C-alpha cells in the first residue's frame, strides 16, 4: 500500500465491503510486495486458496485492482511479485477476460497521462502487466489480447532508458510460443517493420532468427527477400553486419557469462541454410576473432562448445583445426595466473555434455582427437586427467587408446594444431624444439593412458591390461627389433625414447600401479560380483592380482631375445628375480590352506619389490633378500623354538624392520602395501617387534635414530619431477619447511656477523700490506702494492663467505632432516593405530601406553611448528580413540595383575606431579583404561559370584557388572585415587581437575 500512496492513488475503494472482512486478506498484498522470494510465493499461494474457497466477486475485483496497481510499484522487488500473482490469478480464474485486464493495465499505467517523474514506474507497470498475461498461458489463445499486447511491447521498446531490451526479449519469447497460423494471421503484419530492420539490432535479428526456425512456412526465402532484400540471412553480403551485431551482443551480455541466444540461433540458421562454412570462416574466424576483446573471444569459445552436438563429422574436423581452437589454446596457456579468468573448465563442460549426448563413435573420436591435438609445443592443452573420457563408447575408447599409443610411438605433429607463446619463442631459441615437443607429447600421452584406468569409464580387463603392459614396457624395456611375440614390440618408435622419457614413463607407471592396487573388480560375472561384495580390490575377476600379471609379463620380456631392459639385471639380481617368482608360486599353493589374507599380503609385497628391481636394482636387492628369507621363515613348517634375547631375530622382527624401511620410501603405493602387510602379521607380532616400532616414535630414542630416513631426500627430489603420478596427499611437509625458514632468518643474520678469527685475519692482511701502520711521510701505496692488497682481501672475504654458506647449508640440511624424521614418525603412527585397532585384546597393548604418553608430553612442552602439532594431534587421537575409548580390551591379565596395579599407581602419581593439566589428563585417562581392563577380567582365585534370582535378574540386568570388581584390588586402588583426590582438594596448583574425578566416579561408581 505504500507504493499506491506514493503514486497518489486511492488506497481503499470499498471501505464498508472488502476491508470489513479483516486484515488477513489485505496482508496477502503486503506480503506479495516483500523482497523475500519465499514470502512472496507463500502469499501468492495463500491468496489463490482464499479466492478459490471464498468465490466472492468483490474480493476478486479488489484483487485484480491491487495487483494491477502493484505492477508499477516503486520498489523493484515488488513488481515481479505482483506480476506473478496476477498471472496465477488469471490462470486460476479463466472467466476473467484478458482484454479487460489489459485495458485496466493500460488505464492505470497510462504513459501519456502520467507525470514525468513517474514515467519509469508506468513503463514497468505496462511491461510487467504484459508479462503477467503471457505467463498465465492464456495470451496466445486470445488473439485480440495477443495483438494489443504485442503492440504495447512495441511502444515500450522506445523506452530503452528504463526498460533496455526487456520488451524485445519478451516479444521474442511470445513469438516463439504462438502457433504458426496465429503468427501468420495476427502477428506477421504488425511485426513486418521489426523483421525488415533485423540487421539494425541484435534483438531484431534474434526475432527474425526465431521466426525462421519456428515458422518456416511463413518466413520463406521469397518473403525474406521482400523484407530485407536477400532470400537468406547468412551470405557474403550480410556477414559484415552480422559480425557487428554479434560483437554488440557479446559486449551487452558479458556479465551473464553465457552464449547470447541470438548467436546460437544464428548458428542453427546457418546450418539450416547450408552456409555454416561461410559463417564460421568469414563470420567467426575472420570477423569476430579479429577484435581483440575478452567478451567476444569468450563468446567464440562458447559458440565452439555449443556447436559440437550440431555439426557433422566433416564440419567438426574443420572447426577443430581452425583459428578459434588455436585462439582458445593460447588463452589456456596464457591464463595460468590465479587471478586470471580461466575458460578451460567451461570448455571441458561442453565436451563432457557432447560426449554424453552423442552415440556416434566417429564424432566422439573426432572431438577427443581434435582437443588432444591442440598442443602447446607438443603438450596438449586438454588436461591429461580430464574426466570427459568416461562418456566414450567402448569402441570409441578403444580407438582413442590405439591413437594415443600410435602417437606415443610415432609422434605426428602434422596432424596437431601446435602453437607457441611469445615468451616461449623468446626463451627457447637454442633449444632442440623437435625433441622438446616429442618429450612433452609423450609425457602427456602416458599420463592420459594411466588416467583412463583411474577414471570411471566402463572398461574391460583386457583394456586395463593392454594399457598397463604398454606403460610397463616403455618404462623399463626397449625393442631391439620388431617381433610379433610381444605386442608392444610390434612397432618400433620413430624416435627412440631417451633416458628422461623412460624415467617419466616409469614414474607414471608406478602411479598406475597404485591405481591397479585399489581397482574394484571389473566384469559382469557372478564371481566378479561376489568379489565386489567382499570389497576386494586389486584383483581380476578370476582372483589374480594385477601386479602378479605384470610380473608374469615382465618375466616373459626378460626371456625374449628381441627386447632388452633399460637397466639390465646382473646375475645376482636375476637370481633374486627367479627366487621371488618361485616364492610367490609357493605362496599361491598355500592360499587356500592357510590364512589367505596373510598370503595375499606377502605376495603383494614380494611382487612390488620385484617390480622395483627394474627401477632401483641396487637399492632393492637388500630389502628383497631380507623379505624372501622372512617369507620362507614365516610360512615354514618347522616348530617354533624359544630363543634367548641375543639370538637371531624372528621373522616377525625382520618383517617389521623391512616395513619400517619401506615406510620411509616416497612411494604411496609401497607405504599402503606395507601397512596392509603389517595388518596381516599383527597377530604374530612379538614384544621385540613392537618395540622396534615404538623406538621410532619415542622422543628419548631420537638421538639414536639411523639417518636412513634422510637418505630418501634425493629420491624425494626425483619424485617431485613427476608429481602427477604417485600422489603423496596431505603428507607433504613443505609448509613446515617454510615456517622454519622464517624462524631461522634471524639466526642467519647472526651467522653473518664478523667473528674474532676473521677480524684478526683481516688485520694481519692489512698490516702485511702496510695499510694500517703508516709513517710520517704519509706516502700512498703504489699501484702494485694496492693490487696485491686487494687480491689478499678478496681471497679472505671469499673464504669467509664460503664458511658462512657452509654453516647455512648445514643448518638447512639439519632442518630438512628434522622434517623428514618427523614425517616418518607420523607414518609409523599408522602402524601403531592399526595394531591397536586389530589387536585390542593383545597384552602388548599395555607396552604402547607409556611411549605414546612420552610423545604427547614432549610435544606439548616443546615450541611446536605445524608439523609437530600435526604429530601431536595424531598421537593424541590414537591414544584417546584407539586405546582409551575402545570397547575391546585384553581379557587375559591374570598373570599381569601386580604389574597393572603398579602401572596404575605410576600413572596416577605422574598425573599428580605434572604442572600441565592437559598432560595430566592423558596420564589420568590411561589409568582409567587400566581400571576398566582390571575390572573386566575375572581372577582365577576369586570365587564364582552367587547368581541372582531369575525375577531379580530380569529387573536389574546389569547388577552383576556393577557389583563385579574382576581382578581389581579395591583397597589398593582406593588408596591411590584417595591420595590423588586429597592432593586435588588441598593443593592450590594441582594439575588434576574436577572433570577427571567426575569421570572416575561416573565410570566406576562402586
Can you give the three-state secondary structure of 725-743, one letter per residue? Answer: CCCCHHHCCHHHHHHHHHH
Tens digits of residue pLDDT in 830-876: 889 888 888 888 888 889 888 888 888 888 877 667 778 888 888 88
Q: Cα 964 from chain centroid? A: 53
Tens digits of residue pLDDT in 870-900: 888 888 898 888 888 888 888 877 788 888 8
Q: Is 267 left (phi over 0), alpha (psi -120 to 50) or beta?
A: alpha
Taken in order 126, 132, 135, 141, is the CA torsion positive or negative? negative
Q: Are 3 and 75 in contact (CB under 8 A)?
A: yes
pLDDT band at 554 (very low <50, low <70, confident <90, very high): very high
pLDDT at 954: 42
**What SS3 state is found at 375?**
strand
Section 280-296 average pLDDT: 89
- pLDDT of residue 402 exceeding 90, the answer is yes
pLDDT band at 593 (very low <50, low <70, confident <90, very high): low
Taken in order 658, 664, 667, 668, is the CA torsion positive or negative? positive
Section 331-339 average pLDDT: 78
Name the more confident of 225 and 367: 367
Cell 513486418, located at residue: 192
Strand 379-380 relative to strand 374-376, pairing? antiparallel
d(CA 794, CA 816): 32
d(CA 566, CA 805): 39
Average pLDDT, the chain: 82
Tens digits of residue pLDDT in 713-746: 434 443 344 444 443 333 343 344 444 444 444 4
In DSSP notation, 522-546 reads PSSSHHHHHHHHTT-BSB-TTS-BH
In DSSP notation, 314-349 reads HHHHHHHTSHHHHHHHHHHHH--STTS---HHHHHH
Strand 563-565 relative to strand 417-419, pairing? unpaired
Q: Are 235 and 275 in contact (CB under 8 A)?
A: yes
- Residue 859 has which C-alpha cell? 610435544
d(CA 599, CA 586): 10
Strand 417-419 relative to strand 374-376, pairing? parallel
- pLDDT of residue 457 exceeding 90, the answer is no
pLDDT at 582: 92
Name the more confident of 790 and 239: 239
Tens digits of residue pLDDT in 647-663: 567 778 888 888 888 88
pLDDT band at 265 (very low <50, low <70, confident <90, very high): very high
Q: Are 142 and 101 in contact (CB under 8 A)?
A: no
d(CA 668, CA 992): 42
- pLDDT of residue 60 exceeding 90, the answer is no
- pLDDT of residue 10 exceeding 50, the answer is no
Name the more confident of 70 and 9: 70
pLDDT band at 469 (very low <50, low <70, confident <90, very high): very high
Name the more confident of 669 and 519: 519
Section 203-223 average pLDDT: 90
- pLDDT of residue 335 exceeding 80, the answer is no
**What SS3 state is found at 419?**
strand
Provide the greatest CA pair distance for the chain: 125
In angstroms, what CA-CA distances link 732 with 727, 820, 826?
10, 10, 11
Contacts of 935 (CB under 8 A, 6+ apart): 964, 965, 966, 967, 968, 1004
545-563 burial code (b ≥16 CB/10 A, e <16): bbbbbbbebbeebbebeeb
pLDDT at 653: 84
Contacts of 590 (CB under 8 A, 6+ apart): 599, 635
pLDDT at 755: 67
Section 671-676 average pLDDT: 82
Top-ranked range on mean pLDDT: pick from 36-50, 463-477, 516-530: 463-477
In angstroms, what CA-CA distances link 12 with 66, 110, 258?
10, 21, 46
End-to-end CA distance of the chain: 72
d(CA 236, CA 946): 106
d(CA 613, CA 607): 10
- pLDDT of residue 57 exceeding 90, the answer is no
- pLDDT of residue 933 exceeding 60, the answer is yes
Q: Are 420 and 376 in contact (CB under 8 A)?
A: yes
Contacts of 439 (CB under 8 A, 6+ apart): 378, 498, 500, 501, 504
**What SS3 state is found at 380?**
strand
- Residue 704 has which C-alpha cell? 639414536
Lowest mean pLDDT among 278-287, 384-393, 460-469, 752-761: 752-761
Tens digits of residue pLDDT in 783-839: 677 777 777 778 778 887 888 888 888 888 888 888 888 888 888 888 898 888 888
**Which three-class secondary structure string do you get for 483-494?**
CCCCHHHCCCCC
Lowest mean pLDDT among 260-264, 434-438, 581-585, 639-643: 639-643
d(CA 998, CA 1006): 13
- pLDDT of residue 571 exceeding 70, the answer is yes
Name the more confident of 95 and 707: 95
pLDDT band at 701 (very low <50, low <70, confident <90, very high): low
Lowest mean pLDDT among 8-17, 274-283, 571-580: 8-17
d(CA 837, CA 119): 76
Name the more confident of 339 and 627: 627
Cell 570365587, located at residue: 943
- pLDDT of residue 8 exceeding 50, the answer is no
Give the orientation angle of helix 294-307 with respect to helix 239-252, to 10 degrees: 110
pLDDT at 245: 92
- Residue 87 has which C-alpha cell? 498471472
Other CB atoms within 10 Å distance of the CB of residue 391: 20
Name the more confident of 17 and 79: 79
Half-sphere exposure (Cβ direction) of 294: Cα atoms closer than 13 Å = 9
Taken in order 405, 406, 409, 413, is the CA torsion positive or negative? negative
Quick one: the chain helix, strand, coil %, rounded to 5? 70, 0, 30
Q: Are 710 and 816 in contact (CB under 8 A)?
A: yes
- pLDDT of residue 604 exceeding 90, the answer is no
pLDDT at 671: 83
Q: Are 89 and 122 in contact (CB under 8 A)?
A: no
Cα angle for residues 228, 234, 236 (degrees, 5° grid): 90
Read off the pTM: 0.76
- Residue 937 has which C-alpha cell? 577380567
d(CA 516, CA 863): 42
Taken in order 862, 867, 869, 874, is the CA torsion positive or negative? negative
Section 524-529 average pLDDT: 89
pLDDT band at 201 (very low <50, low <70, confident <90, very high): confident
Question: Radius of gyration of the chain from Cα atoms?
Answer: 41
pLDDT at 707: 40
Contacts of 279 (CB under 8 A, 6+ apart): 234, 239, 266, 267, 270
d(CA 394, CA 361): 9
Top-ranked range on mean pLDDT: pick from 6-10, 162-166, 825-829: 825-829
Sheet bearing 417-419, strands edge to edge: 379-380, 374-376, 417-419
In angstroms, what CA-CA distances link 852 with 98, 496, 870, 887?
81, 54, 14, 19
Amino acid at each position: 500500500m505504500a507504493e499506491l500512496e506514493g503514486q497518489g492513488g486511492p488506497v481503499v475503494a470499498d471501505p464498508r465491503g472488502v476491508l470489513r472482512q479483516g486484515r488477513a486478506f489485505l496482508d496477502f498484498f503486503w506480503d506479495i510486495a516483500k523482497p523475500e522470494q519465499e514470502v512472496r510465493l507463500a502469499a501468492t499461494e495463500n491468496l489463490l486458496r482464499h479466492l478459490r474457497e471464498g468465490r466472492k466477486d468483490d474480493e476478486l475485483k479488489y484483487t485484480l485492482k491491487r495487483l494491477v496497481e502493484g505492477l508499477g510499484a516503486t520498489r523493484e522487488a515488488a513488481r515481479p511479485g505482483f506480476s506473478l500473482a496476477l498471472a496465477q490469478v488469471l490462470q486460476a480464474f479463466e472467466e476473467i477476460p484478458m482484454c479487460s485486464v489489459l485495458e485496466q493495465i493500460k488505464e492505470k499505467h497510462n504513459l501519456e497521462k502520467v507525470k514525468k517523474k513517474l514515467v519509469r514506474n508506468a513503463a514497468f507497470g505496462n511491461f510487467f502487466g504484459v508479462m503477467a498475461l503471457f505467463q498465465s498461458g492464456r495470451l496466445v489463445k486470445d488473439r485480440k489480447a495477443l495483438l494489443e499486447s504485442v503492440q504495447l511491447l512495441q511502444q515500450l521498446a522506445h523506452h530503452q532508458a528504463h526498460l533496455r531490451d526487456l520488451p524485445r526479449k519478451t516479444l521474442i519469447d511470445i513469438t516463439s510460443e504462438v502457433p504458426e497460423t496465429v503468427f501468420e494471421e495476427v502477428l506477421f503484419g504488425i511485426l513486418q517493420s521489426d523483421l525488415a530492420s533485423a540487421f539494425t539490432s541484435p534483438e531484431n535479428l534474434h526475432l527474425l532468427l526465431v521466426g525462421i526456425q519456428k515458422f518456416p512456412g511463413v518466413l520463406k526465402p521469397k518473403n525474406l527477400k521482400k523484407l530485407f532484400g536477400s532470400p537468406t540471412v547468412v551470405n557474403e553480403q550480410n556477414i559484415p553486419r552480422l559480425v557487428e551485431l554479434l560483437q554488440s551482443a557479446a559486449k551487452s551480455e558479458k556479465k551473464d557469462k553465457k552464449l547470447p541466444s541470438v548467436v546460437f540461433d544464428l548458428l542453427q540458421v546457418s546450418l539450416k541454410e547450408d552456409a555454416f562454412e561461410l559463417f564460421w570462416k568469414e563470420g567467426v574466424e575472420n570477423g569476430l576473432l579479429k577484435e581483440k576483446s575478452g567478451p567476444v573471444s569468450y563468446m567464440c569459445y562458447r559458440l565452439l562448445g555449443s556447436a559440437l552436438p550440431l555439426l557433422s563429422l566433416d564440419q567438426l574436423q574443420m572447426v577443430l583445426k581452425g583459428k578459434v581452437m588455436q585462439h582458445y589454446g593460447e588463452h589456456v596457456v596464457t591464463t595460468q595466473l590465479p587471478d586470471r579468468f580461466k575458460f578451460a573448465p567451461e570448455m571441458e563442460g561442453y565436451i563432457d555434455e557432447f560426449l554424453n549426448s552423442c552415440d556416434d563413435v566417429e564424432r566422439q573420436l573426432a572431438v577427443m582427437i581434435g582437443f588432444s591435438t591442440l598442443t602447446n609445443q607438443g603438450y596438449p592443452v586438454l588436461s591429461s586427467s580430464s574426466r570427459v573420457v568416461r562418456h566414450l563408447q567402448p569402441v570409441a575408447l578403444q580407438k582413442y587408446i590405439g591413437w594415443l599409443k600410435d602417437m606415443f610411438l610415432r609422434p605426428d605433429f602434422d596432424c596437431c594444431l601446435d602453437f607457441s607463446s611469445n615468451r616461449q619463442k623468446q626463451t627457447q631459441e637454442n633449444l632442440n624444439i623437435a625433441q622438446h615437443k616429442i618429450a612433452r607429447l609423450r609425457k602427456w600421452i602416458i599420463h592420459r593412458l594411466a588416467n583412463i584406468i583411474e577414471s570411471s569409464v566402463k572398461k574391460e580387463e583386457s583394456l586395463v591390461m593392454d594399457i598397463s603392459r604398454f606403460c610397463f614396457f616403455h618404462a623399463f624395456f626397449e625393442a631391439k627389433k620388431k617381433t610379433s611375440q610381444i605386442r608392444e614390440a610390434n612397432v618400433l618408435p620413430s624416435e627412440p625414447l631417451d633416458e628422461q622419457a623412460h624415467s617419466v614413463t616409469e614414474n607414471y607407471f608406478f602411479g598406475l600401479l597404485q591405481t591397479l592396487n585399489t581397482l574394484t573388480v571389473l566384469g559382469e560375472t557372478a564371481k566378479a560380483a561376489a568379489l565386489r561384495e567382499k570389497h576386494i580390490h586389486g584383483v581380476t575377476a578370476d582372483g589374480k592380482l594385477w601386479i602378479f600379471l605384470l610380473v608374469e609379463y615382465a618375466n616373459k620380456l626378460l626371456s625374449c631375445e628381441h627386447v632388452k631392459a633399460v637397466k639390465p639385471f646382473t646375475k645376482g639380481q636375476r637370481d633374486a628375480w627367479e627366487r621371488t617368482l618361485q616364492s610367490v608360486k609357493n605362496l599361491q599353493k598355500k592360499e587356500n590352506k592357510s590364512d589367505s589374507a596373510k598370503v595375499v599380503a606377502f605376495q603383494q609385497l614380494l611382487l612390488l619389490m620385484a617390480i622395483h628391481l627394474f627401477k632401483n636394482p641396487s637399492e632393492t636387492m637388500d630389502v628383497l633378500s631380507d623379505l624372501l628369507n622372512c617369507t620362507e621363515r614365516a610360512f615354514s613348517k618347522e616348530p617354533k623354538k624359544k630363543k634367548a634375547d641375543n639370538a637371531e631375530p624372528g621373522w616377525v622382527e625382520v618383517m617389521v624392520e623391512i616395513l619400517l624401511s619401506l615406510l620411509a620410501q616416497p612411494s604411496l603405493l609401497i607405504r599402503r602395501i606395507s601397512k596392509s602387510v603389517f595388518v596381516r602379521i599383527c597377530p604374530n607380532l612379538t614384544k621385540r617387534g613392537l618395540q622396534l616400532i615404538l623406538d621410532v616414535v619415542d622422543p628419548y630414542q631420537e638421538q639414536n635414530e639411523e639417518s636412513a630416513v634422510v637418505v630418501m631426500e634425493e629420491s624425494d627430489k626425483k619424485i617431485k619431477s613427476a608429481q602427477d603420478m604417485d600422489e603423496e596427499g596431505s603428507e607433504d611437509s613443505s609448509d613446515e619447511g617454510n615456517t622454519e625458514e622464517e624462524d631461522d632468518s634471524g639466526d642467519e643474520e647472526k651467522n653473518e656477523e664478523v667473528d674474532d678469527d676473521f677480524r684478526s685475519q683481516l688485520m694481519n692482511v692489512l698490516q702485511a700490506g702496510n695499510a694500517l701502520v703508516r709513517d710520517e711521510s704519509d706516502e700512498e701505496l703504489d699501484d702494485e702494492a694496492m693490487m696485491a692488497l686487494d687480491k689478499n682481501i678478496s681471497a679472505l672475504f671469499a673464504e669467509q663467505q664460503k664458511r658462512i654458506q657452509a654453516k647455512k647449508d648445514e643448518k638447512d640440511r639439519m632442518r630438512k632432516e628434522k622434517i623428514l624424521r618427523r614425517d616418518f614418525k607420523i607414518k609409523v603412527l599408522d602402524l601403531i593405530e592399526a595394531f591397536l585397532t586389530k589387536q585390542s585384546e593383545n597384552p602388548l597393548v599395555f607396552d604402547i601406553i607409556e611411549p605414546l604418553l612420552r610423545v604427547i608430553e614432549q610435544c606439548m612442552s616443546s615450541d611446536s611448528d605445524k608439523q609437530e602439532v600435526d604429530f601431536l594431534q595424531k598421537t593424541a587421537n590414537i591414544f584417546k580413540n584407539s586405546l582409551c575409548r575402545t570397547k575391546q580390551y585384553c581379557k587375559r591379565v591374570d598373570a599381569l595383575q601386580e604389574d597393572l596395579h603398579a602401572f596404575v599407581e605410576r600413572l596416577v602419581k605422574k598425573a599428580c606431579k605434572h604442572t600441565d593439566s592437559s598432560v595430566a589428563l592423558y596420564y589420568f585417562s590411561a589409568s582409567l583404561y587400566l581400571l576398566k581392563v582390571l575390572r573386566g577380567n575375572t581372577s582365577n582365585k576369586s570365587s564364582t559370584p552367587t547368581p541372582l534370582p531369575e525375577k531379580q535378574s530380569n529387573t536389574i540386568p546389569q547388577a552383576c557388572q556393577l557389583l563385579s570388581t574382576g581382578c581389581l584390588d579395591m583397597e589398593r586402588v582406593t588408596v591411590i585415587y584417595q591420595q590423588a583426590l586429597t592432593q586435588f582438594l588441598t593443593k592450590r596448583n594441582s594439575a588434576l581437575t574436577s572433570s577427571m574425578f567426575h569421570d572416575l566416579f561416573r565410570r566406576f561408581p562402586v
